[in-house]
A and B are shown apart, each in its own frame.
Chain A
Amino acid sequence: MTNCPECDAKVEKHGMLLGEVFPCPDCGTELEVLGNTPFSIQPAPKEAEDWGE
């Protein structure tokens, strides 16, 4: 269990991969998994101008 760095909501996810991105269930901010033991997150990288397919 950890908290969203944007809205402080409690966030708990299981079975996620390092680097996986997901939206905060409360505020929708994109979050990135930093570690699983213990579970830690940070805001996902912001989209840059050269991002794409």
Chain B
Amino acid sequence: MSNGVRLGVFYTIIRPEEKAILAAAEARGIPVVRLDDGVVTFGLEPPADLPDVVLNRSVSHTRSLYAVHCYSAYGVPTVNTPSVVELAGDKVLCSLRLAERHIPTPRTVVALSPEAAMTAIEQIGYPAVLKPAIGSWGRLMAKVDNAEDALQILEHKSALSSPIHSVFYVQEFVPKPDRDVRAFVVGNEVVAAMYRRSADWRTNAARGASAEAAPHSSELVDLALRAAEAVGGGVLAVDLMESPSGLVVHEVNPTPEFKTLAAATGVDIAGKVVDYAVGVARR
């Protein structure tokens, strides 16, 4: 039941996830206000006719960040909150928070110039992984096996004009099975988990990794909930790797996709996300 709540859905495009969210809201009788991130504008004063909560589904980190700040300033709760989007959407900030909370995470060194990045890679040792601080789906990630690779990759990155590429996030390469684990957290619950298996070292579903339901072991649940709580909680996908010394959290995603996870587990994730959003709506 909607309880009179109007749900705003802030989006870039309608993917299967957003379609499922809209369908879940309709099934619950919840009116939806569609907020296209390429169309809406934000003044300094709250506009009339605001929804009671905004579920952020924009794929753009930049648009997400400004939008949730604006809605928050208008007094409209957002899922996720601005600080969660800010922290979890930036790998540097997220890693710092995970380390601060003593959550196992791969060794990471950040550098702000190509020269310092070379030093960072040497500090991590080979093989190392170079990731953009912002972005997902395994895009623009590189495995660096030796100094020659490092120089070439850094030269290529230096030629890219976007400021995103002037931040070098260097992480140890974690020897793991041909899979990683994704735990989907809604509030204080892991609602679904899956293994993502791939012959490629990147196990993103977007890169074609296959999925199967993963057991909710106490270690997985504990670590996923701690990681989600560390960034502020909400609706989050926690990605973990099975390192030789146990599970390590390598990412916390604040606008998670779940098509593959829902299919692998049979869990109505869209329904759980909508129920959570309605639960945090302003009254």
Q: Report whether chain A binds chain B.
A: yes
Complex contact B12–A45 (CB within 8 A): yes
Segment touching A, from B43-51, B57-65, B214-222, B269-277: B57-65
Contact A51 B135, CB 8 Å, known A19-B14, A45-B13:
yes
The reply to whether B136 and A51 form a contact with Cβ atoms under 8 Å apart is yes
| B36 at the binding interface (Cβ < 8 Å) | yes
Rounded to whole angstroms, the CA-CA distance of A18 and B237 in the bound complex is: 27
Q: Which residue of A lies closest to B239 (CB)?
A: A53
B42 within 8 A of A: no
> Which chain B residues (21-69) contact chain A, with CB distance < 8 Å?
22, 34, 36, 38, 59-62
Q: How far is the CA of A52 from the CA of B255 in the complex (A)?
A: 8
| Interface residues in B, total, Cβ within 8 A | 31
Give chain A residues whose Cβ lies under 8 Å from the Cβ of B3. Answer: none
Q: Is B254 an interface position by the 8 A CB rule?
A: yes
Contact: A53 with B237, CB < 8 Å?
A: yes
Q: Note all chain A residues with C-beta closer than 8 A to B13.
A: 19-21, 32, 44-45
Answer yes or no: A1 CB below 8 A from chain B CBs: no
* Cross-chain contact A52 with B62 (CB below 8 angstroms): no
Do B14 and A45 touch across chains, with their CB atoms under 8 A apart? no
Residues 14-48 of A, flagged 1 when their CB comes within 8 A of B and 0 if not, give 00011111000000000011000000000011011
Which secondary structure characterizes the binding site on chain A? loop
The docked-state distance in angstroms from the alpha carbon of A21 to that of B16 is: 9
Interface residues of B in 111-126 (CB under 8 A from A): none
- Does the CB pair B136–A18 fall under 8 Å? no
- Please tell me the size bucket of the interface on A: 10 to 19
- Chain A residues closer than 8 Å to B195, beta-carbon distance: none
> Which residue among A18, A47, A51 has the maximum number of chain B CB atoms within 10 Å of its CB?
A51
Decide: A49 near B162, CB < 8 A? Known: A17-B22, A19-B36.
Answer: yes
Supposing A53-B137, A53-B254 touch, asked if A18 and B14 sit within 8 A by C-beta, the answer is yes
Residues of B within 8 A of A17 (CB): 14, 19, 22
Closest chain A CB from B35 CB (angstroms): 11
Most B CB atoms within 10 A — which of A17, A20, A50, A52? A52
* Smallest CB-CB A-B distances: 10 pairs: A52-B136, A53-B253, A20-B14, A19-B14, A53-B136, A50-B61, A51-B59, A52-B135, A21-B13, A50-B62
Tell me, in angstroms, the Cα distance from A48 to B139 when the chains sit together: 11
CB distance from B263 to the nearest CB of A (A): 17
Q: A53-B253, A53-B256 are in contact. Are A19 and B136 (CB under 8 A)?
A: no
CB distance from B252 to the nearest CB of A (A): 10
What does the 1/0 interface line of B134-146 toward A look like (CB < 8 Å)?
1111011000000
CA of A18 to CA of B32 in the docked complex: distance in angstroms?
A: 14
A17 → B minimal CB distance (Å):
5
With contact pairs A19-B11, A19-B36, A20-B14 given, residues A50 and B255 touching in the complex (Cβ less than 8 Å): no
A47 to B18, CA, bound (A): 17
A32 to B15, CA, bound (A): 10
